[in-house]
Amino acid sequence: MPDDELTPPPLPPSGTLTPASSARARIAPIWHTVILVVAMLAFSIWGAMRSGGPGSEPITTLKGPRLLHYAVTGALELFVVAWVALGMRLHKTPFRTLFGIMPRGLNAIVKEVGISALFWICSMIVLGVVGLAWNVIQTENYHHQLNNQSSSSHAVKPESPQQQKIKLIRKLMDLAPGSVPEFFAWGLLCALVGFSEELIFRGYLQQQGIALLRAIPLGVIFSALVFGAAHAYEGTAGMVQIAIFGGLFSGITLLRRNLLPGMIAHSWHDFATGVFLALIRETHLLDRIPLPS
């Protein structure tokens, strides 16, 4: 078979798509994309309500073994990937087109791994700056609320940004691995999530968004917003940061014209976050942080 039949077509370069090219670039039926987005948002809202909502105490904690939870999460990820594959099959679009031009050969793969590491470091710097800016805004708003309530003795004191962050971390710590089998399973789950979510958001939703909205920036914004909204259980600040994170992943995907760097960085980020949360839980670090009176 000729090589050109094995190589998937490249991702759209840049600029605005014309109406005609937009129709050809669509990779799945519109109804299929609508169902996927609505289902993800509904599941995200349900998850936020089940955990008590952003910034509140959890209504429920993790039920059952963590290994079972990891298995269910992995199964849901694979189900969404299967739904994406079904929609592309209905539209007669090859599934491999989601991956872009994947590197071939050891040197090319090593290069993409290095790029993914550099991308992750730079993205952490960006998210750190965004987090600091958000914390300043939250702190100013908190003090403004305190000043407004100072004249009322019956007013309920609002939670400080620090208290809200600690509550969120406590929620997320419950998912962090705590034994050797759990660490191994967590690593497998992170690899699966990095693969599937980059395939779904930066592969399917981004390409479909570019085709339907007829512009790469709009497609990137669409994918990033859905990515952020899909993490409602992390609160408003978390959704904003994750949406920005998604936009950065879109950038590296378009720059490298393939999903591999994003998949590697995504998997590593999730794994490192789980390890960090496990260390916080085991060292009881949160218990030693003084809270405002």
pLDDT tens readout for residues 90-113: 999 999 999 999 999 999 999 999
Task: Give yes or no for residue 7 having a pLDDT over 80.
Answer: no
The domain locations on the chain are 19-94+111-288
Task: Give yes or no for residue 5 having a pLDDT over 60.
Answer: no
Query: Which amino acid, one-letter code, is at 244?
Result: I
Query: Which amino acid, one-letter code, is at 260?
Result: L
Q: What is the C-alpha separation between 219 and 97, in angstroms, rounded? A: 17
Q: What is the C-alpha separation between 64 and 71, in angstroms, rounded? A: 12
Tokens standing for 112? Answer: 């993409």
For the chain, the average pLDDT equals 85
Highest mean pLDDT of the ranges 49-53, 161-165, 185-189 = 185-189
In this prediction, what percent of the chain has a pLDDT beyond 70?
A: 83
What local confidence, expressed as pLDDT, does residue 16 receive?
Answer: 37
**E strands within 76-159?**
none
Q: Place 293 in a pLDDT band, splitting at 50, 70 and 90.
A: low
Q: Place 55 in a pLDDT band, splitting at 50, 70 and 90.
A: very low
Highest mean pLDDT of the ranges 92-96, 140-144, 172-176 = 92-96
Residues 202, 250 contacting (CB under 8 angstroms): yes
What local confidence, expressed as pLDDT, does residue 170 receive?
Answer: 85
Tokens standing for 32? Answer: 């299929």
Q: Place 156 in a pLDDT band, splitting at 50, 70 and 90.
A: low
What local confidence, expressed as pLDDT, does residue 57 receive?
Answer: 40
Report, as an integer, the average pLDDT of 54-65: 51
Tell the residue number behind the tokens 């690593």, with chain if given. 187
For the chain, the C-alpha Rg in angstroms (whole number) is: 21
What local confidence, expressed as pLDDT, does residue 145 receive?
Answer: 76
Q: Place 152 in a pLDDT band, splitting at 50, 70 and 90.
A: low
Report, as an integer, the average pLDDT of 28-42: 97
Q: Running DSSP on this structure, what letter comes out for residue 285?
A: G
Residues 27, 209 contacting (CB under 8 angstroms): no
